[in-house]
Amino acid sequence: MAFIQTEKLTYNYEGNLVPAVKEVSLSFEKGSYTAIIGHNGSGKSTLAKLLCGIFTPTGGKVFIDGMDSSDEEKQENIREKCGMVFQNPDNQIVSSVVEEDVAFAPENLGVEPKEIRKRVDDALAAVGMTEYAHHSAYKLSGGQKQRVAIAGILAMNPDCIVFDEATAMLDPAGRREISAAMNELNKRGITVITVTHHMNEAAMADRIVVMNKGEVAMDGTPREVFARVDELRSLSLAVPQVTELLYDLGLPEALHASEAADIIQKEIEKKCH
Partner 1 sequence: MSLKLENVSVVYGEGTPFRKVALDNINIEFPKGKITGIIGHTGSGKSTLAQLLNGLNKPTSGKIYLDGEDIWVNPKEISKVRFKVGLAFQYPEYQLFEETVGKDIAFGPKNMKLSENEIALRVTEAARMCGIPDDSLDRSPFELSGGQKRRVAIAGVMAMKPKYLVLDEPAAGLDPVGKTDILNGIINYKNETDGTVLLISHSMEDVAKYSDYILVLKEGKVFAQGTVEEIFSNISALADSSLDLPQITRLFHELKKRGLIERDDVYTVKFGEKLLKEKGIGNA
Residues that bind partner 1 (CB under 8 A): 38-41, 87, 141-142, 165, 168-169, 171-174, 197, 200, 236-238, 240-242, 244-246, 248-251, 257-258, 260-261, 264-265, 267-268, 271
**Cβ-based nearer residue to partner 1, 119 or 145:** 145
CB of 254 to partner 1, least distance (A): 9
Residue 154: CB atoms within 10 Å: 26
CB of 160 to partner 1, least distance (A): 24
**Cβ-based nearer residue to partner 1, 76 or 267:** 267
Q: CA nearest 56: which of 74, 40, 38?
A: 74
Q: Inter-axis angle of helices 172-187 and 142-154, to 10 degrees?
A: 20
CB of 116 to partner 1, least distance (A): 31
CB of 162 to partner 1, least distance (A): 18
**Cβ-based nearer residue to partner 1, 168 or 180:** 168
CB of 221 to partner 1, least distance (A): 19
**Cβ-based nearer residue to partner 1, 89 or 158:** 89
Phi, psi of 40 (to 5 degrees): -55, 135
CB of 5 to partner 1, least distance (A): 28
Q: Going by DSSP bridges, is the β-strand pair 27-28/4-11 parallel, antiparallel, or unpaired?
A: antiparallel
**Cβ-based nearer residue to partner 1, 188 or 266:** 266
- Beta carbons of 224 and 253 less than 8 angstroms apart: no
Q: Classify residue 176 as exposed, middle or buried by CB count within 10 Å of its CB (0-12, 13-18, 19+).
A: middle
- Rounded to the nearest angstrom, the gap between the alpha carbon of residue 6 and the centroid of all alpha carbons in its chain is 17
**Cβ-based nearer residue to partner 1, 156 or 254:** 254
List strand residue ranges (DSSP E) for the chain, in order.
Answer: 4-11, 21-24, 27-28, 33-37, 59-64, 67-68, 82-85, 160-164, 191-195, 207-212, 215-220
- Beta carbons of 72 and 147 less than 8 angstroms apart: no
